[in-house]
């Protein structure tokens, strides 16, 4: 019989500052400086740690080793660390399912039995049949660092094209597997990045996008330009792939491909970096040698192809509708005067559109939580799908004539559950529900709205144990992102559950720059208006303090990627406001982010250092360039991966070295550099648990927590 009991993790003093006295004295590695100075529009900007940008240099590798030795030594001295990781491992050990899809009369879904480093892909002919393993990435590497990065099933369900990523890199190798035998064919496609696979109707091959092969020593840092679209015929070498489309006159154009369900057209989604605007081209696949037609070429809005009925294309767009609408374009008479609005803009942003059961299934965000509505193909409202609660729903894959689809539902206290939706009857049934070792009824989630610096109303979710005392003494973790039109909505995480079990409050702010309220919300946090994002986040922390959830010494902040930039900027602007900071894989050097891999693509959101006005804005908030000697910065644990070729680790390296040199107080400035790990996608479960455990142990120490944890 299992018996759960509660024990107190002890040994910490009442305040984070006092707690440092119990830890070993930190001695940071010496980081060499140079006299590198750059001129930006007449402004001289020193860059003394430029040499850390060379990830292949022996000196950089030695620096990484020395920093990790200090960091892991400090973390190992925190006595509560092992118990935290034990509880994380216990909670993470639950069955997790991906949303099933159907192709060629077969179902495909992923499943993780709990602590597997990578989810396993299964297939089955009927829902009540015994699943068979189609691909187990855990068998591809001893440490679980090879991940399934993408897959596409041929229309007849017989072949699967799939991409593998190693050590967290964005580079993928694509292969082809026979679904029936589970065996790979000889096909191998390399130097693929930011691409899926779009099968032709006959199942003989697929379209994909790739880059030219980089030099060996620059694979993780070289700028990625000149993506090209190819067609690969199954059973032939990559060297025989047919070049379908490229634009040597536009090095920054990227291409995504889709083949319509009727097999008639190839759609080419033409992007410029991360700009939400795009172009939409097509090619008639029924006519050999047909040209690529530039259907929507004005680059004036976002155009997402939904489906087609012969030459009639349904498109989700924000043209003249910042929150999105659905239009119909007849490609035989494509002039704008002939366009027809099918579903008008609503009060809520339209985030996705699918065609199922000869109707539109539309996903909306209402104050950052999911809302799903059904419309006829002529735009008549039919019904709203009743979701299990206030949370996030996603999935709804399938073809226009399908009456069956699947979707996932999750919230801060509900693990991702899978539902089967019968669209003919309107019945939603629970298909798979994970069992996690906690009681959701013990927790409560509220959504509040606060005012930012300029008076803008900003939403924030707050989740914690029931019965929380608003005495200003609760350790609180505030999370944010705020960029690239990306929306944050409620989701379940064993890591945050452990945080709340330890008595912590978890808050998530929906900042400007994201997509929670459509294009206008996004644009209010872009380029020259990026400071709004930081103001929103700072105001969220101030609201939590003013409303007695926490205090500065108990408030920690966390974010990753663009969210890592958020943490770096807020830490350097308001070091007095926080008790600890956790910037992860962040963009910290806003003057050189465009020099590496895909960093140039972010200029659509950040602006360009080469533009004088945008340089002023970038320089004003760039975390690296706003660190000042003599300031007492809060305890900081920076995290990155040595194979991160999205936001190269040099950002974190230089930020850590500069912050360590400037720090006036005793609070630790540490950098944790994961090996064989990248930006985050495909990270093995074991590494995720280890990193989360180290972060929580760091916060326990920094915030002076005395947590309660369950253990067996």
Domain final residue pick, 259, 288, 314 = 259
Which residue, 581, 409, 411, 434, is CA-closest to 497? 411
Q: How far apart are the first and last CA of the chain?
A: 11
Q: What is the CA radius of gyration of the chain?
A: 25
Q: pLDDT tens digits for 341-389? A: 999 999 999 999 999 999 999 999 999 999 999 999 999 999 999 998 8
Average pLDDT of 574-603?
A: 95
In a domain, 118, yes or no: yes
Q: pLDDT tens digits for 406-453? A: 999 999 999 999 999 999 999 999 999 999 989 999 999 999 999 999
DSSP E strand stretches across 538-675? 555-560, 580-584, 636-641, 669-674
Q: Which two tokens stand for residue 264?
A: 């008639």
> Worst-scoring range by mean pLDDT, 250-254, 348-352, 398-402, 674-678?
674-678
Whether residue 148 sits in one domain with residue 83: no
Whether residue 103 sits in one domain with residue 41: no
In a domain, 557, yes or no: yes
Asked whether 581 and 588 are in contact (CB, 8 A), the reply is no
In a domain, 310, yes or no: no
Domain final residue pick, 194, 229, 259 = 259
Which pLDDT belongs to residue 152?
A: 97
In a domain, 346, yes or no: no
Asked whether 214 and 223 are in contact (CB, 8 A), the reply is no
Whether residue 600 sits in one domain with residue 540: yes
In a domain, 290, yes or no: no
Whether residue 501 sits in one domain with residue 451: yes
* DSSP-based helix, strand, coil % in the chain, nearest 5: 25, 35, 45
Which CATH number do you get for residue 79?
3.40.50.1820
Q: pLDDT tens digits for 127-180? A: 999 999 999 999 999 888 898 999 999 999 999 999 999 877 889 999 999 999
Whether residue 151 sits in one domain with residue 43: no
In a domain, 271, yes or no: no
Whether residue 692 sits in one domain with residue 655: yes
Domain that holds residue 235: 95-259
CA dist., res. 606 & res. 587, Å (int): 11
Domain final residue pick, 195, 224, 259 = 259
Residue 304 bridge partners (DSSP): 316
Whether residue 123 sits in one domain with residue 60: no
Whether residue 536 sits in one domain with residue 641: yes
In a domain, 306, yes or no: no
**Sheet-wide strand order for 312-317:** 303-309, 312-317, 325-330, 340-343
| Residue that is written with structure tokens 């990627």 in the block | 561
Whether residue 562 sits in one domain with residue 635: yes
Which CATH number do you get for residue 190?
2.130.10.120
Q: How many CB atoms lie within 10 A of CB 362?
A: 26
Q: Is the pLDDT of residue 20 over 60?
A: no
Whether residue 149 sits in one domain with residue 86: no
Which residue, 38, 37, 63, 46, is CA-closest to 650? 63
In a domain, 116, yes or no: yes
What is the number of structural domains in the chain? Answer: 2
- Residue numbers annotated as active site: 561, 679
Whether residue 515 sits in one domain with residue 442: yes
pTM over cut 0.95:
no
Whether residue 598 sits in one domain with residue 645: yes
């Amino acid at each position: 019989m299992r018996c759960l009991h509660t024990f107190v993790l002890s040994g910490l003093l009442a305040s984070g500052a006092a707690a440092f006295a119990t830890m070993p004295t930190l001695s940071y590695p010496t980081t060499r400086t140079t006299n590198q100075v750059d001129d930006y529009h007449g402004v001289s900007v020193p860059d003394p740690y430029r040499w850390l940008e060379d990830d292949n240099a022996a000196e950089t590798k030695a620096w990484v080793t020395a920093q990790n030795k200090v960091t892991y030594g400090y973390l190992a001295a925190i006595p509560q660390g092992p118990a935290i990781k034990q509880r994380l491992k216990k909670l993470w050990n639950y069955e997790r399912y991906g949303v099933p899809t159907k192709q060629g009369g077969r179902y495909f879904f992923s499943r993780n039995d709990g602590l597997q480093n990578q989810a396993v892909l299964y297939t089955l002919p009927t829902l009540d049949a015994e699943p068979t393993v189609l691909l187990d990435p855990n068998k591809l590497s001893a440490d679980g660092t090879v991940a399934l990065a993408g897959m596409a099933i041929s229309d007849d369900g017989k072949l699967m094209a799939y991409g593998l990523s190693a050590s967290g890199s964005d580079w993928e190798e694509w292969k082809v597997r026979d679904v029936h035998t589970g065996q790979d064919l000889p096909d191998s496609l390399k130097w693929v990045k930011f691409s899926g696979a779009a099968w032709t109707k006959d199942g003989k091959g697929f379209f994909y996008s790739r880059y030219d092969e980089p030099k060996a020593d620059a694979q993780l840092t070289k700028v990625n330009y000149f993506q090209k679209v190819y067609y690969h015929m199954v059973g032939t070498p990559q060297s025989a792939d047919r070049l379908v489309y490229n634009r040597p006159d536009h090095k920054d154009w990227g291409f995504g491909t889709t083949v319509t369900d009727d097999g008639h057209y190839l759609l080419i989604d033409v992007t410029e970096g991360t700009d939400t605007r795009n172009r939409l081209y097509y090619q008639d696949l029924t006519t050999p040698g047909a040209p690529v037609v530039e259907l929507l070429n004005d680059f004036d809005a976002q155009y997402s192809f939904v489906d087609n009925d012969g030459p009639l294309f349904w498109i989700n767009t924000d043209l003249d509708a910042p929150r999105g609408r659905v239009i119909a374009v007849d490609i035989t008479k494509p002039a704008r005067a002939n366009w027809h609005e099918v579903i008008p803009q609503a009060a809520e942003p339209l985030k996705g559109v699918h065609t199922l059961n000869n109707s539109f299934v539309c996903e909306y965000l209402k104050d950052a939580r999911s809302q799903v509505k059904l419309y006829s193909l002529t735009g008549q409202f039919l019904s709203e799908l009743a979701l299990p609660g206030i949370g996030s729903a996603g999935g709804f894959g399938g073809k226009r004539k399908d009456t069956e689809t699947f979707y996932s539902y999750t919230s801060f206290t509900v693990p991702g559950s899978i539902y089967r939706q019968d669209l003919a009857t309107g019945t939603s049934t629970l298909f798979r529900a994970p069992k996690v070792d906690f009681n959701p009824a013990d927790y409560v989630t509220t959504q509040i709205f606060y005012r930012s610096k300029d008076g803008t109303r900003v939403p924030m979710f707050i989740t914690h144990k029931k019965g929380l005392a608003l005495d200003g003494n609760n350790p609180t973790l505030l999370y944010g992102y705020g960029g690239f039109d990306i929306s944050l909505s409620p989701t379940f995480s064993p890591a945050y559950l452990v945080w709340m079990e330890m008595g912590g409050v978890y808050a998530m702010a929906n900042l400007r720059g994201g997509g929670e309220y459509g294009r206008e919300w996004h644009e209010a946090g872009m380029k020259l208006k990026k400071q709004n994002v930081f103001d929103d986040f700072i105001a969220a922390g101030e609201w939590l303090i003013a409303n007695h959830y926490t205090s500065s010494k108990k408030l920690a902040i966390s974010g990753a990627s663009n969210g890592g930039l958020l943490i770096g900027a807020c830490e350097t602007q308001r070091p007095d406001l926080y008790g600890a900071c956790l910037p992860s894989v962040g963009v910290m050097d806003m003057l050189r982010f465009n020099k590496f891999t895909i960093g140039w693509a972010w200029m659509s959101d950040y602006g360009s250092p080469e533009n004088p006005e945008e340089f002023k804005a970038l320089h004003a908030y760039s975390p690296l360039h706003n660190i000042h000697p003599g300031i007492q910065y809060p305890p900081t644990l920076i995290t990155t991966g040595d194979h991160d070729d999205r936001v190269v680790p040099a950002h974190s390296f230089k930020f850590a070295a500069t912050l360590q040199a400037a720090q006036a107080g005793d609070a630790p400035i540490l950098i944790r550099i994961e090996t064989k790990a990248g930006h985050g996608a495909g990270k093995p479960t074991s590494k995720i648990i280890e990193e989360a455990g180290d972060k929580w142990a760091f916060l326990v120490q920094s915030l002076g927590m005395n947590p309660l944890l369950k253990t067996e």
